[in-house]
Amino acid sequence: MKTRFQHAYVLNIMSDDHPGIISAVSSAVARLGGNIELASQTVVGGYFTLIMVVSLPAPVDPGALAAEVRGPEAGGARQVVARPYVAVPAPQQPVGRFVVTAFGKDKPGIIARFSRYLAGKDINITDFYWSRHGNDFVMISQVEIPEGADFHLLQADFEEIGRDEGFTVKLQHENVFVATNQLRLAR
């Protein structure tokens, strides 16, 4: 990833959720003359989480960067971890982007079995959503499947896991998922 400035850092922020967190964090980065290169944020169970890559015009101590982003107004309520950004090498082989959706009755171990299967097939989970409502769950995962993998075998394996665990699961190419769900994802 090419950044605006030479000095890039990864920030990981967690806090009780409330309005103004992104404003405070982005204002701190702006005060340092920095630019936000990438960011992903969500709220889970009332907790705000944000991970971002920022670039700065000059090097800064990661501890000082974390303290600036934490800000005095947050007290100890906002946890911030900063570290230098090191580019992660691209996958060695080309991958296709797919979406796995599953829903059904919840029970302990479903995520462990699902993720263990993916790891065993060298399939990377790039985005993951899980929500439980009463005794039911919904899972949506974006995954990167190595090109050349047998899509039909993977789908059959997912369906077998679903039958064993008592839930419905579907594997779709990202483009099919977007088209059939009328979503528009920015690239």
pLDDT along the chain (187 residues), means of 10: 81 95 94 95 95 96 94 80 89 86 92 93 93 94 92 92 91 75 56
pLDDT of 174 reads: 81
Amino acid identity, position 12: N
Closest C-alpha to 78, from 51, 49, 39, 44: 49
Angular region, 75: left φ>0, alpha ψ -120 to 50, beta rest: left
**186 part of a folded domain:** no
Tokens encoding 184:
């528009």
Q: How far apart are the first and last CA of the chain?
A: 14
Q: What is the largest CA-CA distance in the chain?
A: 55
Tokens encoding 132:
């439980």
Q: 168: helix, coil or strand?
A: strand
* CA–CA distance, 18 with 139 (Å, rounded to integer): 25
Same domain, 54 and 99: no
Same domain, 28 and 80: yes
Same domain, 47 and 14: yes
Here the CATH number for the domain that contains residue 42 is 3.30.70.260
Same domain, 112 and 169: yes
Same domain, 112 and 152: yes
Tokens encoding 150:
């047998």
Which of 84, 118, 137 terminates a domain? The answer is 84
**138 part of a folded domain:** yes
Which of 37, 65, 84 terminates a domain? The answer is 84
**141 part of a folded domain:** yes
- Report the b/e string of 143-172 with b at 16+ CB within 10 A: bbbeeeeeeeebbeebeebbeebebebebb
Closest C-alpha to 25, from 45, 1, 62, 51: 51
- Residues forming beta bridges with residue 101, ordered by sequence position: 140, 170
Backbone angles phi, psi at 147, to 5 degrees: -60, 145
Same domain, 54 and 105: no
Tally of domains within the chain: 2
Which of 84, 116, 149 terminates a domain? The answer is 84
Same domain, 111 and 168: yes
Q: Can you give the residue range of the structural domain that contains 122?
A: 95-180
pLDDT of 184 reads: 55
Same domain, 38 and 110: no
How are strands ordered across the β-sheet holding 167-173? 124-133, 136-146, 95-105, 167-173
